[in-house]
Amino acid sequence: MVPNVWAVVVHYNGEEWIHKCLQSLTESVLPLHIVVVDNNSTIQTGIQIIQNKFPHVTFIQSKENIGFGRANNLGIELAMANQADYIFLLNQDAWIESDTIKILISTSLNNPGFGIISPFHLDTTKSALEYGFSKYLETDKCPGIISDIYLKQTREIYPLSFVNAAAWLLTNNCIRTVGIFDPLFFMYGEDLDYCQRCQYHRIRIGVTPHATISHARPHPSGQSSGKLTWKKSEKYKLQGNLLAVLKNINKSLWVQIGTYFILLVKFSLRYTTPLLAILAGMLVLTNLSKISGSRKAQKQQFIHQ
């Protein structure tokens, strides 16, 4: 029986990539229902591409930019309401191969303990791994995979504790157990939080080298030698990562508050204006009551209707 698979793409001013992204999903050898959630784009070109070139795609227009996680939640909830067996989350700046979804689902069926499975991320030239993804395959994070690749004896799947949500295959059971993305996050950190919640519920996360996508995430060249310039995207990244630390339900909140302060100082020193980073990071603590409530709620087993 053909599984009921839904692909969810969050779009925001993605006119540079969205055609290639949606075209690749359309050409999947395994049929997909495709949902695009537009996060109130300020440039209309991408929206016009979606609506004119891909009329078969379910299009959801948000009246405001609600962030990455909450926008994905709209697509996930629609898919779950339509009895999706699997939900595939794909970044707007990424595209799949025609057999990517088929391989991911085959891998899932052979490894039912895994609730999240990611393909390998290649760069846009397909001549190298995307730099950020390659960091998840380091020996201490994904044991055995580097030597197996070198010896040409790769297994079907490799467990790890985290892989970013640029291309996640989620099972129905995973979503019913863990829930959806926490709306406390705006952008960055929501996927780390979700992986931590999977760990709590003993749902495994894995990568398979037999399925690939291409991802246009910029290489951080030139950043390592000097300090970073403080800007809005860095603010979201800092706050999201610190929020994920406080949200880690596998550890005591009081322990995580201590870790938060250590990391706040460490993270702030990366920037040319560390005081601005510290002030932005401290704002996360204003949500401490919501964080505590969310931790308690997410320790329960969710049954998503």
| Cβ atoms 215, 266 nearer than 8 A | no
Instruction: Check residue 303 and give its pLDDT.
Output: 45
Percent of the chain's residues with pLDDT above 70: 96
**Phi, psi torsion values for 158, nearest 5 degrees:** -130, 125
Query: Is residue 236 domain-shared with residue 177, that is, in the same domain?
Result: no
Instruction: Check residue 226 and give its pLDDT.
Output: 75
Query: Is residue 188 domain-shared with residue 241, that is, in the same domain?
Result: no
**Phi, psi torsion values for 202, nearest 5 degrees:** 60, 35
Instruction: Check residue 221 and give its pLDDT.
Output: 59
Average pLDDT over residues 114-118: 98
Average pLDDT over residues 271-282: 93
- Does residue 304 register a pLDDT over 80? no
Q: Which residues span the domain enclosing 38?
A: 5-215
Instruction: Check residue 1 and give its pLDDT.
Output: 80
Last residue within a domain, chosen from 215, 247, 269: 215
Average pLDDT over residues 55-76: 97
- Does residue 219 register a pLDDT over 90? no
Query: Is residue 148 domain-shared with residue 11, that is, in the same domain?
Result: yes
Number of compact structural domains in the chain? 2
Q: How many helices (H) and strands (E) does the chain have?
A: 12, 9
Instruction: Check residue 222 and give its pLDDT.
Output: 47
| Cβ atoms 119, 100 nearer than 8 A | yes
User: What is the radius of gyration, based on Cα positions, of the chain?
Assistant: 19
Query: Is residue 56 domain-shared with residue 98, that is, in the same domain?
Result: yes
